[in-house]
Amino acid sequence: MAFQGIREFIELLEQKGELIRISEYVNPALDIPEIVDRVSKSPGGGKALLFENTGSDFPVLINAFGSNSRMALALGADNLNAIGDEIESLFKKLVSPKAGLMEKLRMLPMLGQISSWMPKSISGKGKCQEVVMKEPDMRKLPVLTCWPADGGPFITLPCVVTRDPETGVRNVGMYRMQLFGPNLTGMHWHKHKTGARHFNEYKKRGERMPISVVLGGDPAYTYAATAPLPDNIDEYLLAGFLRKKRVELVKCLTNDLEVPSNADFVIEGYVDPEEDFIWEGPFGDHTGFYSLADWYPKFHVTCITHRKDAVYPATIVGIPPQEDAYIGRATERIFLSPMKLTMIPEMEDMELPPAGVAHNLTISKIDKTFAGQAAKVMNAMWGAGQMMFNKVMIVADGQTDIHNYPEIARLVSQVVDPAHDIYFTQGPMDVLDHSASKFAYGSKMGVDATHKYEEELYNEQANYTVPKSSVISVEEIKKEIHEVYDINAELLDMGISFVVISVKKNQPGMVKALGKKLTKHEAFKGVKFIAIVDEELDIHDMNAVGWYVSGNIDPKRDSQIFEAENNGGVSHLVLDGTRKSGSLDNFKRDWPNPVVSSMETIRKVDELWPTLGLSEFIESPSLRYIPIQKGEGAIAREE
């Protein structure tokens, strides 16, 4: 369905019992984010929150996409799978052979339907231009400061409209924007993004780059700005398809870009490629760690317009799960069909676990028909758009439910020989990946968890049985191997061959030496996978372990593979998921701290909680992760 504005979406959420209004004043600086972090980590994502008293003229809507059901409501669907199914059906009809004239004529209504989703320019002013700020002042918006080490307030759900100066093709991307003054922000686009490519074209031409930023309106606009569309595909076409109604666009007042007429806010301005960049950040990012400060372009605001009843949309990101996990789930469901139909016909399903923060971990399922097919799929996916940033990819087949994490873990335990079924390669990494030795470039790991053809088999142990946790005496091992701080072997009793070891790392080369000791020890002879993490992490929280290890490894550098010593023995993979430093690991880059609230903010929200109408008290999730911090600030300090 098409929403005429964000307030229509709010009304629907309220009708469905999916929204809580908070009338008590809550400070957008740190306090709103701390409340949202507690709610969004509730089972199922909690409720959407409308903060009506923000100290500004505008309420804040947040966590609106923070559940599978709300994400489907935002995109006008009964469920997210239905959108992917519709895309698949449409694509098949368009590309299927047409035998004769009548069959081709039958396609005309469908082509007419597709044309009705194309964005359309309209004359006059839109609802988004009902109010024009005579003196644009970004400080009048309730922009959130999300985390204590953030560089300042950030706009977190901006739909940034740019245009290729050569082709005129529009792009709508989502790039965070730090406020530096009433009419100045940063424009944080990464080198791999379309906005950055447009910027480089303007720089070659020596011209100012016009930019307009859209906030709110139909939720489909926000989702489309995050979608991994191919370059030169208009995001407003995707929005039109999702809402089953074309996006009506009006011309901006101070540049010639066009924006949705029913948006809540439009921020117009420009970037001057000849101007020096600004030091932007840090920012508590979706990886669960801070992205550190760096140089980015300055965005000069020339005009702010908004609806009379405008609502300011926002989100926070940090240690998963957060609202962005459900946006990622929509992408997973919507773009599975195009990937399957255009590049990977054997693809049956895909899963992006929230702990993998979009890029760190992907699980895919294929219809396997030949030897080496898993490797073929890995390489194809690593070459597919934003999948190039993936760090660890598991490929399965058969009847396995890849959305059931214990089930996929048991499959990996049974069919993967760490010495022969794990592949490494190099390639581009997400700019936000802090673990790679080089900026935005590192290694990738592929795990072939498919059932093997004869050509793929090596000297595997016949009828492998996962050992029981009782074979690992934690206290005895701690006495024998002094580097071990604690052990979690609980997964062994679920048929999952995975053990987590925590250590207090205090010597160079300690983790590699420990990996060798562990795999030589009789207690670990039957364990295929061992992860080593820092002592401060709660190793009994497997979501935390998954997030921490997948975030902290450069797979090739941090993997030790030990081949079975004899025919029928067990091979081992040991992963170094610890924090890296210059003194202990010769790591040359700054290592970021995890994203957590301050104790001051936690105590303040604890006291405020009874006035918010949020029913049961929720303890701050940050309390579980504060021990991982090394010093205050965005950068982890060496002891």
Tokens of 175: 């790039």
Q: Which DSSP category does 58 fall into?
A: S
If one counts every other C-beta atom within 10 angstroms of the C-beta of residue 427, the result is: 14
Q: How far lies 492's CA from each of 314, 500, 589, in Å?
A: 42, 11, 36
Tokens of 614: 């949020």
Could you tell me if 87 and 345 are in contact, meaning their C-beta atoms sit under 8 angstroms apart? no
3 state DSSP class of 415: helix
- Cα(271)–Cα(268) distance, rounded to whole angstroms? 11
If one counts every other C-beta atom within 10 angstroms of the C-beta of residue 368, the result is: 21
- Cα(212)–Cα(223) distance, rounded to whole angstroms? 17
Going by C-beta distance under 8 Å and a sequence separation of 6 or more, which residues neighbour residue 342? none
- Cα(172)–Cα(119) distance, rounded to whole angstroms? 13
Q: What is the DSSP string of 341-381?
A: HHT-TTEEEEE--GGGTTTTEEEEEE---STTHHHHHHHHH
CA 334 centroid distance within chain: 15
Going by C-beta distance under 8 Å and a sequence separation of 6 or more, which residues neighbour residue 47? 18, 19, 20, 39, 63
Catalytic residue check, 285: yes
- Cα(332)–Cα(381) distance, rounded to whole angstroms? 13
- Cα(389)–Cα(404) distance, rounded to whole angstroms? 24
Tokens of 235: 């995001």
Q: Please list the residues that pair with 313 across neighbouring strands.
A: 61
Phi-psi region at 502: left, alpha or beta (left = phi > 0; alpha = psi -120 to 50): beta
Which H or E run includes 280? strand 278-280
Closest CA to 421 of 464, 389, 479, 386: 464
Instruction: Provide the terminal-to-terminal Cα distance of the chain, rounded to the nearest Å.
Output: 55
Number of H helices, E strands in the chain: 18, 30
Catalytic residue among 150, 218, 264, 285: 285
If one counts every other C-beta atom within 10 angstroms of the C-beta of residue 16, the result is: 12
Q: Please list the residues that pair with 271 across neighbouring strands.
A: 209
Going by C-beta distance under 8 Å and a sequence separation of 6 or more, which residues neighbour residue 184? 278, 298, 299, 300, 301
- Name the one residue in this structure whose structure tokens are 């859209």: 214
- Cβ contacts of 336-342, under 8 Å, gap ≥ 24: 336/84, 337/84, 337/85, 337/87, 337/88, 337/91, 338/87, 338/91, 339/381, 339/384, 340/88, 341/88, 341/91, 341/92
Closest CA to 149 of 289, 39, 277: 289
Using only C-alpha atoms, the chain has a radius of gyration, in whole angstroms, of 26
Residues annotated as part of the active site: 285
